[in-house]
């Protein structure tokens, strides 16, 4: 699978109703940390996308979703399981850190 961009209009279908756990990255295009972190998410998704869906929400364009999740800093990662928030991380992470944080969902 590939990391997909999700919009306010499609967030419910793509994230809240997913059969898989969903890792949501809230990001903005002009932030260097977000730009650099994109390759980490792509690598994580390439290896684990069959177990955890990875999606991106552009905070500047999808203000309603970002507001609903009270995003105050980017990148922000939110783990959703059956539509409920299970965990949240602020700031970029390495692929290894993601694997440790999400180990319970990768089995």
Query: CATH number of the domain at 4-105, out of 3.40.30.10, 3.30.160.110, 3.40.47.10, 2.60.120.310?
Result: 3.40.30.10
Nearest to 102 by CA among 17, 21, 2, 14: 21
How many C-beta atoms surround the C-beta of residue 19 within 10 A?
7
Q: What is the mean pLDDT of the chain?
A: 96
Q: How does pLDDT run across 47-75, given as a tens digit for each residue?
A: 999 999 999 999 999 999 999 999 999 99
Can you tell me which residue has the tokens 């609903």? 68
How many C-beta atoms surround the C-beta of residue 50 within 10 A?
10
Q: How does pLDDT run across 21-32, given as a tens digit for each residue?
A: 999 999 999 999
How many C-beta atoms surround the C-beta of residue 64 within 10 A?
11
82: alpha, beta or left, given left = phi > 0 and alpha = psi -120 to 50?
Answer: left
1 pLDDT above the threshold of 70: no
Q: What is the mean pLDDT of residues 3-24?
A: 96
């Amino acid at each position: 699978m590939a990391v997909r961009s999700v919009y306010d209009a499609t967030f419910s279908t793509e994230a809240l109703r997913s059969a898989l756990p969903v890792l949501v990255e809230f990001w903005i295009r002009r932030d260097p940390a977000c730009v650099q972190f994109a390759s980490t998410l792509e690598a994580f998704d390439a290896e684990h996308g069959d177990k955890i869906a990875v999606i991106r929400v552009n905070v500047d364009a999808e203000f309603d979703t970002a507001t609903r999740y009270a995003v105050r800093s980017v990148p922000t990662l939110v783990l959703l399981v059956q539509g409920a928030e299970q965990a949240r991380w602020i700031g970029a992470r390495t692929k290894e850190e993601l694997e440790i944080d999400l180990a319970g969902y990768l089995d």
